[in-house]
Amino acid sequence: MSFPLNVYLLAALGACVTVLAALPLWRKWCVRTGLVDDPGQRKIHDHPIPLAGGLAVMTGLLVPALLACLILWWQKAGGNAGAAPVVSGSPQDVGRLGLLDPNSAFLLQYGLGRRAMELAGIFLGAFGILLVGVLDDKHELRPRTKFAGQFLIAWLVAASGVRVTLFVPSLIFSYAITILWILTVINAFNFLDNMNGLCAGLGAIGSLHFAFIAAADDQYLVALIAFLTFGALLGFLPYNFPRARAFLGDAGSHLVGYLLAVLAILPHFYTVRHPRRWAVVIPLLILAVPLLDMVWVVVLRWRIGQPFYQGDTNHISHRLVRRGLSRWQAVVVIWVAAEALALLAYLC
């Protein structure tokens, strides 16, 4: 029983439209509450920019997800009210209102029922990491305070059942590698959020490829989360690239990194349908650009005796600009490189 493509497209479109509609409202709220990025050192904008991206992306994930749950409930209630008895657990049992075809609705209800704990952990973690980012945007949290928040959220996700295994039958190892992975990817995207469109664009590219891989193996819940993420980031990009009317801020870059970290854990890259020999390399290729950029700047900062969390202009994007590219050209070059590396993942 395969999952229909139109539901995936609807998820991406719904998230995109939601963000496009929500961003003007969040921009006004950010200006009113002072959640803005003021001009300053290493910044090129000359007026405050609302840090509305993370709030809008979260809205783009949440609203379509809640609407889908409401449709499922409505469809099931409509199908059961006064309907003739049907076989329990069959696709026909989910209702006949026609908002979703019975097979799709049945698969969604079945998946939501089996994965409720993991899904709750994922969405609670998303809210948590967004809150950490908002507090950092507003109050400039100390590095250890921010790291403690990131660690707690990564532990929550691992405890909910979303964990890396790497074929090692050890719960302690699984927790440790999961927490390390989530912390690494969150900070990789946070470090890379240094030019308009860069972080959101790389997040959109990564989430789209995770969506394709999951959908090809009928891992429909994973694919839906990935398509929601892609649609939300796609809806944000017109407000952020090439000229910025809103920034992701730490709230947004933390959320993007968190979502991509989780999307790299959720799919089964080695399946009966696709027994990929180098399955473990796939998420590394899809996220190669932010990971390599973080490794580069951390090693460089360590060599010169600078704290690894202290920002500078030694990222890939800055180096491309120093070689003569404009900022938007540097971002596009990095997008293309990320896309090329992600395509290599299909050869694994």
Q: What is the pLDDT of residues 300-330, one digit of tens each?
A: 999 998 988 888 889 999 999 999 999 999 9
Collapsing DSSP to helix, strand or coil, 55 comes out as: helix
At 111-124, the pLDDT tens digits run: 888 889 999 999 99
Domain total for the chain? Answer: 1
103 domain residue, yes or no: yes
Domain for residue 220, yes or no? yes
Distance CA 172, CA 178 (A): 10
Closest CA to 260 of 291, 238, 237, 281: 291
In a domain, 101, yes or no: yes
Tokens of 339: 């896309």
Does residue 13 lie within any of the structural domains?
Answer: yes
Q: For residue 115, what are the CA distances in angstroms to 106, 124, 181?
A: 14, 14, 21
Q: Are residues 128 and 255 in contact, defined by beta-carbon separation less than 8 angstroms? A: no
Task: Identify each DSSP E strand in the chain by its residue range.
Answer: 36-37, 49-50
Q: How many CA atoms lie less than 13 Å away from 341 in the CB half-sphere?
A: 21
104 lies in some domain: yes
**81 has pLDDT over 80:** no
d(CA 95, CA 81): 9
- The tally of CA atoms less than 13 A away on the side-chain side of residue 127 is 7
- Determine which of 47-51, 87-91, 337-341 has the lowest per-residue pLDDT on average: 87-91
Residue 279 pLDDT: 84
* 200 assigned to some structural domain: yes
pTM: 0.92
Phi, psi (deg, nearest 5) at residue 247: -110, 155
Which structural domain range is residue 260 located in?
A: 5-275
Q: 188-202: per-residue pLDDT in tens?
A: 999 999 999 999 999
